[in-house]
């Protein structure tokens, strides 16, 4: 899995690969149907990263028939759960007294379609 990664586990990500992926996604989100073939021609050094990205998107073979349902979503919020609380305690120590979680809206997932917007558990 070296598609966008340079070096060891906490090493730097490959900025160029991420930039190329992002460009592809921008076109895809804009409904331009970018072709992997053209991207491979232009950026052969990022073939693995591009293939991984395209494979993560809904396939065109399902287009016009039925929308790919959102991958089974995990219904519980994670950021208020025990796992994140344990991580925060490990990083920052015990939660400060009277601390209140900030109110910030979740950002739409990059591959989310308008139909997927309905269930929000703010």
Partner 1 sequence: MATEASEIEREIERAAESLPPPETLAALARRRLARELRALPSEGSAAWRAALLAEAPAGASLGALAHAIRASARAGRMDEARELFVALLRRTDGLNRRWVATALRGLPGAPDERRERAQDLAQELALALWRRVGLGDDPAWELFFQRALDFTQRKVATTWLRRQGLRADPRVERAERGLALVFSQFEENAPETALPVEPEAATLASADLADLRALVQRLPERERLAVVMRYWQRAGEAEIAAALGVTTRATRYILRRAYRRLRLWYAGASDEGASDE
Site for partner 1 in 28-57 (CB under 8 A): 34-43, 46-48, 51-52, 54-57
Q: How far is the CB of 25 from partner 1 (least distance, A)?
A: 8
Which DSSP state fits 116? Answer: G
Which pairs with CB-CB distance under 8 Å and at least 24 residues apart come from 55-61? 56/111, 57/28, 57/111, 58/111, 60/33
Does residue number 78 form part of the binding site for partner 1 (CB under 8 A)?
yes
Q: How far apart are CA 77 and CA 105, in angstroms?
A: 13
Q: How far is the CB of 40 from partner 1 (least distance, A)?
A: 5
Does residue number 113 form part of the binding site for partner 1 (CB under 8 A)?
no
Does residue number 96 form part of the binding site for partner 1 (CB under 8 A)?
yes
Q: How far apart are CA 107 and CA 98, in angstroms?
A: 27
Nearest to 109 by CA among 117, 119, 118: 117
Among positions 59, 98, 114, 115, the unique one binding partner 1 when judged by CB under 8 A: 59
The binding track of 2-21 with respect to partner 1, each residue x by CB under 8 A or -, is -xxx---xx-xxxxxxxxxx
In the complex with partner 1, which residue's Cβ is closer, 84 or 113? Answer: 84
């Amino acid at each position: 899995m070296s598609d966008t990664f340079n070096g060891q586990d906490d090493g730097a990500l490959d900025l160029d690969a991420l930039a190329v992926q992002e460009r592809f996604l921008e076109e895809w989100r804009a409904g331009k149907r970018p072709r992997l073939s053209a991207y491979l021609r232009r950026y052969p050094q990022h073939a693995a990263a591009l293939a991984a990205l395209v494979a993560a998107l809904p396939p065109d073979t399902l287009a016009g028939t039925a929308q790919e349902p959102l991958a089974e979503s995990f219904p519980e919020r994670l950021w208020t759960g025990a796992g994140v609380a344990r991580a925060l305690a490990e990083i920052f120590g015990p939660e400060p007294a009277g601390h209140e979680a900030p109110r910030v809206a979740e950002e739409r997932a990059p591959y989310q379609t308008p139909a997927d917007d309905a269930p929000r558990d703010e």
